[in-house]
Amino acid sequence: MTTATWNLVVYAIAGDAKEHQAVLQAIDDMRAALTTDRCHIAVQVMAKGQTTRYWISSADKHRTEVLDAVDASHQAPLAAFLNLASKRFPANATALTLWAHGSGLDHVHDYRKKPGGPGGGGLGGAAPARGLLAGDQAARLRTPYARALSPRGRLDAWLPRHPGYGCRWGPDPNNGRFLTNVTMKKAIAASLTGHVDVLAINACWMATLEVEYELRHAAAAMVASQVYATAWPYGAIVEALAHRPDQTADELAQTLVAAVAAEIAAGKRDDAVSAFRCGAAMDALAGAFDTYAQQASGLIDTDWEAVRQAVMEDVQRLDDPYQADLASLVALLGKHDPRAQRAGQAVARQLDAMRIGNAVHHQHPGLHGMSIFCPKDLEVDLADAYAGTEFRANAWAAFLAKFQPRLAAS
Amino acid sequence: MHETSMDAHKPAGPTLATNGKHAPAPQLTRLTDSIELVAPPGCSASVVLKLVKRDDGHRYYAFWLVAGRHDLEAATVAYKHTGEDAIRCDLPQGMPLSAAALQPHLATYLDSLSEKGGDPPVITH
């Protein structure tokens, strides 16, 4: 087989029959749209009790392999599939799409709900236990999702979650566990190429600075959504790629955004998607934001009312209760302070410079493609939310740690 | 009761309750703009549920606004949309206003949206 320009690798979780049908429809659409031998498509679908691989190329239209279930919360299956795809379909570049449920930062919970640990592990004390199960574990088992799990899955569901931190992508349909962004990063790094060219996460709320910073060296460009996301138009994406298979990573990221934008314009969907350059550009963004956050932290002491007003009332929120639009934040928090204003403008300039594409339905006004963790909730365990992530060293973590008790005291 | 332009918010048809009788079903819609909340004719109240918290496995919605109605007399409450997730529920007459009564309808509605962040909802109270 000759070396193609692009491999589109789709790594998907089908948690129920409806989701499985959606993935199968996408596979049909992609197969119909693939009209060139310069691109190949590899799909791994992890469903309950079974994993299926689909190898799609114009020459050898469609091959299917059925395997036993794999644990999608571990790094090994993702790294193995990336390796197998690159061997089976040699290509100059790889676009990896991770298609499942997501929620941005993973370990966002209240202090009092922090599991286990001496003294309860959180500032709010131990998790309340009732019988053999903690309250939240028992509640988890009563959900329709838990009832649908296998006996082994139910067992895993009430066991304490493994100590991974980062974005929550999944869950694995057999054990209910999630792939964190740290594990996602390690999986891509452990693959033969050590990175992909485009990383596209088709899941809710993953277009956050924290997630994209964690994954900045995993890809040249990243595509994700700030809001509740629905399935992307995979057939249209492959059609555009087949029409112009020599796209750069930036251009393919733009192709993805354009395909979603076309559906938004046609009234077929109401979500959002954005694309950013990663690597050094993301380092520069995080650095600029660190400087800005230091300035903003000082304002908690000197201009508390303006800080409170900005965070609690003015900054553009989205449909996740813990996130705010990054561009809106740096424009509004500190707008009365010249130093904070200059630092915020530097963040905005960098964000504009690295944004490759952004498509937003009109029901999400004021979204600029990237979010930031900015809870208004006094009970959110801030340290745990950032634990294990590279972003925890950013001055924004210190801002939040200072803001929360000040808000509680006000 | 006369029909008005509010028919767009007319409650969905009755659903079959577990006892075999038809139970009134609320009409749910996601709010995407600021509105003046008024319960439509035929409804006893309009409620806004706002997503206030989530954790490993659940989305927690709180009662954010309630606007009541009795016959032609209806309260009007301003709702300012901030971009956060808010669900409007128009409760038909006869349906109790409670978290327990609304919860299954909220779960069904959110499930129908096929979103990729779809943890089961819990209405806090």
pLDDT digits (tens, 9 = 90+) for A224-242: 999 989 999 999 999 999 9
Tens digit of each residue's pLDDT (9 = 90 or more) over A137-188: 444 444 554 455 444 444 444 333 433 334 568 888 998 888 988 899 999 9
For chain B, say whether A309 makes contact (Cβ under 8 Å): no
How far apart are alpha carbons A280 and B9 in whole angstroms? 50
Question: Searching chain A, which residue's CA lies closest to the CA of residue B82?
Answer: A317
Among candidates A113, A144, A322 on the partner chain, residue whose Cβ is nearest the Cβ of B120: A144
Question: What is the share, in percent, of chain A residues with pLDDT greater than 90?
Answer: 71
Q: Are A318 and B84 inside 8 Å of each other by CB?
A: yes
Tens digit of each residue's pLDDT (9 = 90 or more) over A68-85: 999 999 999 999 999 999
Mean pLDDT on A23-48: 96
Q: Which two tokens stand for residue B56?
A: 């490993």
**Minimum distance, in Å, between the CA of residue B34 and any CA atom of chain A:** 11
Question: Searching chain B, which residue's CA lies closest to the CA of residue A168?
Answer: B56
Question: What is the share, in percent, of chain B residues with pLDDT greater than 70?
Answer: 78
Question: Searching chain B, which residue's CA lies closest to the CA of residue A160?
Answer: B56
Count interface pairs A-B at CB distance under 8 A.
97
Q: Where are the beta strands (DSSP E) in A213-332?
A: 219-224, 272-277, 323-325
How far apart are alpha carbons B86 and B88 in whole angstroms? 7
**Minimum distance, in Å, between the CA of residue B50 and any CA atom of chain A:** 9
Substitution target in B35, B58, B81, B116 with the highest count of A β-carbons within 10 Å is B116
Band of pLDDT at residue A379, cut at 50, 70 and 90? confident
How far apart are alpha carbons A92 and A229 in whole angstroms? 29
- Taking the alpha carbons of A341, A347, A352, A353 in that order, is the dihedral positive or negative? positive
Which residues does B contribute to its contact with A (CB < 8 Å)?
Answer: 30, 32-33, 51-58, 82-85, 107, 113-120
Classify A83 as helix, strand or coil.
helix
Band of pLDDT at residue A61, cut at 50, 70 and 90? low
Q: Where are the beta strands (DSSP E) in A205-312?
A: 219-224, 272-277
pTM (whole model) above 0.95: no
- How far are the Cα atoms of A37, A58, A80 from residue A2, in angstroms, in the given order? 9, 12, 22
Which pLDDT value is given to residue A28?
Answer: 95
Residues of B in contact with A168 (CB under 8 A): 56
Cross-strand pairs, B70: B73
Cβ neighbour number for residue A151 with a 10 Å cutoff: 7
Classify A166 as helix, strand or coil.
coil
Phi, psi dihedrals of residue A302, rounded to the nearest 5° = -100, -25
Mean pLDDT on B90-101: 94
Q: Which two tokens stand for residue A313?
A: 């009332």
Q: Are A109 and B119 inside 8 Å of each other by CB?
A: no
- How far are the Cα atoms of A56, A68, A348, B45, B93 from residue A63, in angstroms, in the given order? 7, 17, 46, 55, 56
Which pLDDT value is given to residue A258?
Answer: 98
Residues of B in contact with A103 (CB under 8 A): 54, 117, 119
Phi, psi dihedrals of residue A160, rounded to the nearest 5° = -55, 140
Among candidates B113, B115, B120 on the partner chain, residue whose Cβ is nearest the Cβ of A143: B120
Among candidates A18, A102, A161 on the partner chain, residue whose Cβ is nearest the Cβ of B117: A102
Classify B87 as helix, strand or coil.
strand
